[in-house]
Every structure is written in structure tokens, then in C-alpha cells.
Amino acid sequence: MAYKGIRVAALLLPLAVALAYSNHFQNGFHFDDFHTVNNNSYIRSLHNAKLFFTDPSTFSVLPANRTYRPLVTLSLAFDYWLGSGLKPFYFHLDAFLWYLVQLALMWALFRHILRFASTEPWTDWGTDWAALFAVALYGLHPAMAETVNYVIQRGDLYSTLLVVAALAVYALAPRLRRFGIYLLPLAVALITKQPAAIFPAILLAYVVLFEERRAGKALLRCVPSMVVTGLMLWLQTRMMPATFTPGIISEHDYLATQPWVALHYFLMFFAPVALTADSDQTAFSTIFCVQGMAGVAFVVALIGAIYAAARRENLRPAAFGLAWFLLALIPTSVYRLSELENDHRMFFPFVGLALAVSWCAALAMRALAMRWTHARTPVLIACAVPILAACAWGTHVRNGVWLSEETLWRDVTIKSPHNGRGLMNYGLTLMSKGQTSAALNYFERALEYTPNYFILEINLGIAYGDLHRDADAAAHFFRAMQLAPGDAQPSFYYGRWLATQGRLREAIAQFQAAIVRNRDYLDPRYALMQAYWDAGMQTAAKEIATDTLQMAPGDTTALRFLNGQAVAEALPDLAAAAEAAVKLAPTADNYLNLSLAYDRAGRFRDCIQAAEQALKLRPGFALAYNNIAAAHMDMGEWDAAIAAAGEAVRLQPDLQLARNNLAAAQQQKKLAESFHSQ
């Protein structure tokens, strides 16, 4: 009966995990997803699969963020193909199914370790339940939600899954060791994310604790994994682009802070109340501070606990789990990264911690069961179910945080109130709803914590531009370009603002500069095509479109500018994209773009209505009046066109497009009146 109950529970676990994550499948893309997924033209075709393994620039459109993770990029391209576009459901479904595979492998590995570690009769039922509880605790733990929800962080999921698979194959199929089968998932893990390089140390801990006590022979068994790891790290070094920037924190301060970060992670396992998508933890300039010393004391105590547990036969699974936790933290602790801590960095270490905690709990329950044998099962259920239910509820709530940019960054402002980037990103969500003044307040608060952040300067420029504080807008755009002279984004956004001012020649120069700095960044290309087209330079627009199509075959925006026939074919898609943008972020600028898309699709009344919505959000928006004028001109309604174009010129006298439309409408009205008078 006990074994039947375990089998039933093991089959129910995936269902429980699916229920906990049932509200995450439609969550959006966030943060680093935008430069690795949304704006990455390479993932739009599986024909680029070979490039993913030979060109690390395919990982991200931002040079500073490019690294070598070809398997991750390949999986993103597959999900894009599966969903015929950027449909979050397929990206989340893919990662979630692999998460379930990892849990199944953990179940097999944990059962083997716990059964192997003890031969007492109690383990006939106790070890299997302990293994299942460990997997359930991990699978439902709220700290795992970030990795499952955050699309680009599937690298942590894949590498952890493959490390578990490598150790499971080694432990469960000893006859295959001489063929090196267990090394295959290890090699693949190392091209998904680099923390997998710690596998030889984890393998050594397993061999010493459960198979070979002699250190020399145990180390010899790990040599093949060391060789594979060394070769794959050499490949990583060769493939890592020179543009990659790990972080601006000094190596000394980064290392000094990591013991405290390890303690923070450990506490989050037992009380995950401070989970945040972007921490405001600051670096320590010295280890000799209260938090620094607390972290060191924790690491020393953890090493002591591992040593003490390893000396007792029945505690060796706990020793292994704690060793896994500590070893899995080493890669992100010694290699300087952009952030001091991330929730997704707990995904790999918590595999071991779940095993250690669950086995210690099982030993405690065993002692209790020896006293109350008749109440063994009810006691187990009474203890386990509330814990797992609380974890599942916490995960469900955490998924809700990852629903949208607004929910995510609002949570960050609460959990990490001193994080300038979090304040800025929440401000962006407010600006997307037309609440520019409120957004500006968050941007200015962010300046207190990140005074030299060029992205923040760009967003300040955009906000001041929306408020028609042109001098302030220009000053912040210039500041952004000074802070990041080699980055394409300041030039692109400054150019986009110049275009809204009708300063097309200056805008064209900025878009060209952005493309020179980053040829893979598509937004400046789209903007340059539009600027050329508006300036009457159709040949130049087509040249950029042709070059863009070589990078992103089938790109609808490039096709729209390539020739008149392609424009007609691509217009419905353009209008649909603009409608989707308005639905996601109903800003004045998005309504303006929607009105333009409607005008080019021949939907002139819809064009006027969309422009009027833009005016409701931003009264005095000269470009919206200009679009209204253009739509009336297309319908031959000259008086209405003259009135709208005249208002645009009154609001912005240097808006050449409106001046041209006003003159054209007046001329056409005179021609019409002359024709009717004859």
C-alpha cells in the first residue's frame, strides 16, 4: 500500500505543479527578453540555427550583453516558429515542459541517493517519500518562479536540468560510465549557461560520499568530466565576443558581498518573502562589516555542517545536498556579473538544498514515527501538505507578479525601493499609459540611485519631450550619448524625438549613427526608412530595406518600404501590429502610429479617430493634427484638411510636413472651386 501511495503521489505531482503555474502561460516578455527575444531578428528563422553555434552576436542585439549560449537561442527560434511569432504561450510552455522533465530526473536521482545511503528497513517507504517531498518542495517553491517565468533565463533551467541528467546517468547506469554517456548532457549544459562548469566538483562530492572514500581514486573518476568541462570552457572563451561587459562593480567589492548573498539565498529557501526581479543590494567595500562577517560566518558554518554530516552514514544525503548548494553558488560568486544577486541564481543551488532539508525532515519524522507508528501516515500528511500548499500558493502569487511590465516593476519598487533601474522601469509603464508627469517623478527618484545610467537619461529625454520641454529633452539625450558614446540607443531615441519635431535631416543623421554602432538593431533601420520616405528619399529607404531583408528575410516592415506592391500587401499586418501596440500601451505616440498605419491602409476615418485619441492623451499634439489633415485630404475634404493642418502649424510652426499639407490642401481647394465655377 505504501508503494502504491507513492506512485499515485508521484503521478499527481506534475498536476500540482501545473496548477501552481497555470496562471503563467500568458505572462509577457520582460527586461532582458527585449534584446534577446523581442528585438532579436535572428530567432525569427530556424534557418539561422547554424549561426547560433558560430556567431555569438545572434544571442542579443546589444553588444554588451552578447554571450555564447547557442542552445538557448536555438530554443527561442523554435518557439518563435512554433507560435508563428512572438506568442508568449509557446515560449512558456516549452520551458515548463522541460521543468517537469527536470523534476522527474530529480526524483530518480534522489531516490537512488537516499536508498543507496541507508539500508535500514524504514527506508522501504521513508526514503521514497523523502525523495518525493524534496522534488515537490523544489517544484512548488516560489523562488523557482522567476526562472520559469523569465523567458531568457531558461538558460538556468536547461543547464540545471542537464547537470541533474548527467549525474543521474552516472549514478543510475554505472555500466555506461566507460562509454562516457553521462558526459553528453554535461557538454550540452556548458553551451547553455556557464555555472554547469561546477559539475566535476558535484560529481566528486557524490563519489566521495557514496562510492569511493579514497580521495585519490575518487578524483580519478572525475577526470573525464574535468576534461570535457575544460574543453567547453575553452570554447566559451574563444567564442565570447570582445563587446561583452560582465559588470561595473569592482571584483573586490563583488567578492566581498557574495557570502552575504549566499546567506540571503539560504534564508529565502525557508522564508521566500523578499523575492524581487531586480534587487537593490549594494556592494560591500570590505568584508569587515556586520553583513559581510555574517556571510562569512554562514559559509564557515555551512562547511562545518557538511563535514559533520559526511562523517555519519545516515546524514550523507544531507551532506551531499548542502555541498551541492554551496558548490552551485561558486560560479556566480567568483565570476563578476552585472548584478550582485538574482532570484534565478537560486534555481541551480536549491536542487541540493531541497534534498538536504527534506532528508533532515525525514529523519526527524522517522524518530516521531517510531513513537507513534499507528499515526505515521496522518502525521506525514499533516506536516507535508500545508508546507507544499503554501509553496504552491506563493508560486501562483509570484506568477501574477510576472504578468506584465507594470505588475513586475511595481513589485520591484516595493521590494527593492532603492533600485534606480526598477524605479525607472515602473515609470516607463506609467508613461505608456499617458501618465508622463507621474513617470517623470519615478525617473527623477531613480536619478538618486543611478545618476550615470544612460538608459535613464534616454527616458528622461523622452518624458520631457512628451511634456514639450524641448530644451530639457535635448539635454538628457545629449547626456545619454556622453555616457554611452558607443551604444546605438541614445542616437536612435534622440533621432526619433527629432523626427517628431519635424527635424528630419537631423533625425536621419542620428539613425545612421545608430546603425553604424549596431547593425543588428532593427528599430533604427525602421526609423531611418520612415525618415527617408517622409523626406522624399524613396530610393534611400529601399536601399536600407534591401539590406535589412538580408538580415531578417521576410521582415514585413522592410518589405513595406521596398516597393509599392509590397506596401499594399504588408499594410494589414502593419495596422494589426499598431493595434496590438495600442492595446499593450495606449500612449499618444502609439495612437499616432496607429493613425498613420490606418491612413496607409486606406482606412481614413479610422485614421482620424486614432489621431483624435492621441489628442485626448496629449492635447496640442501637432503631429496628430497633421495626420487628421492628411486623412481629410485623402478623402477630398479640403476645408477639414485645411483646419487640421492649420492647427498643426499653429502649434508647431517648424513642422514642415504640416506646412506642406496646409499648402497642398489650400491649392486643391482652389482648384476644386475653379472647376465648379466653370
257 within domain boundaries: yes
Asked whether residue 231 falls in the same domain as residue 328, the answer is yes
Asked whether residue 323 falls in the same domain as residue 271, the answer is yes
420 within domain boundaries: yes
Whole-structure pTM value:
0.79
**Among 471, 470, 560, 480, CA closest to 517:** 480
CA-CA distance, 378 to 372, in Å (whole number)? 10
Which range has the worst mean pLDDT, 165-174, 272-281, 592-601? 592-601
526 within domain boundaries: no
Asked whether residue 368 falls in the same domain as residue 432, the answer is no
Contact call for residues 280 and 417 (beta carbons, < 8 A): yes
Contact call for residues 463 and 443 (beta carbons, < 8 A): yes
The four Cα atoms 189, 298, 141, 30 give a dihedral, to 10 degrees, of -60
CA-CA distance, 525 to 531, in Å (whole number)? 10
Higher pLDDT pick, 638 / 54: 54
Q: Looking at this protein, which amino acid is placed at residue 274?
A: A
| Mean pLDDT along residues 308-312 | 93
What's 43's DSSP letter?
G
Asked whether residue 73 falls in the same domain as residue 97, the answer is yes
State pLDDT tens for residues 598-613: 877 777 888 899 999 9
Asked whether residue 231 falls in the same domain as residue 133, the answer is yes
- In the predicted structure, residue 459 carries a pLDDT above the cut 90: yes
- In the predicted structure, residue 296 carries a pLDDT above the cut 60: yes
1 within domain boundaries: no
Asked whether residue 472 falls in the same domain as residue 338, the answer is no
pLDDT of residue 3: 62
State pLDDT tens for residues 24-52: 999 999 989 989 998 898 998 899 999 99
pLDDT of residue 323: 97
507 within domain boundaries: no
**Among 529, 84, 163, CA closest to 331:** 163
In the predicted model, what is the mean pLDDT of the chain? 88
CA-CA distance, 591 to 501, in Å (whole number)? 17
Q: How much of the chain exceeds pLDDT 70, in percent?
A: 93
CA-CA distance, 225 to 166, in Å (whole number)? 10
Q: What is the CATH number of the domain that holds 619?
A: 1.25.40.10
Where is the domain boundary, 427, 453, 485? 485
- In the predicted structure, residue 410 carries a pLDDT above the cut 90: yes
- In the predicted structure, residue 566 carries a pLDDT above the cut 50: no
Asked whether residue 232 falls in the same domain as residue 264, the answer is yes
**Among 664, 669, 612, 676, CA closest to 639:** 669
146 within domain boundaries: yes
Q: Which domain holds residue 662?
A: 563-678
pLDDT of residue 568: 40
**Among 96, 40, 101, CA closest to 73:** 40
Asked whether residue 77 falls in the same domain as residue 157, the answer is yes
Contact call for residues 33 and 152 (beta carbons, < 8 A): yes
Asked whether residue 396 falls in the same domain as residue 409, the answer is no
pLDDT of residue 1: 46
Structural domain count of the chain: 3
Asked whether residue 351 falls in the same domain as residue 237, the answer is yes
Where is the domain boundary, 371, 401, 431? 401
- In the predicted structure, residue 304 carries a pLDDT above the cut 90: yes
Asked whether residue 569 falls in the same domain as residue 629, the answer is yes
CA 295, 297, 300, 304 torsion-angle sign: negative
Where is the domain boundary, 381, 401, 421? 401
CA-CA distance, 313 to 295, in Å (whole number)? 29
Asked whether residue 415 falls in the same domain as residue 354, the answer is no
Radius of gyration, alpha carbons of the chain: 29
pLDDT of residue 628: 93
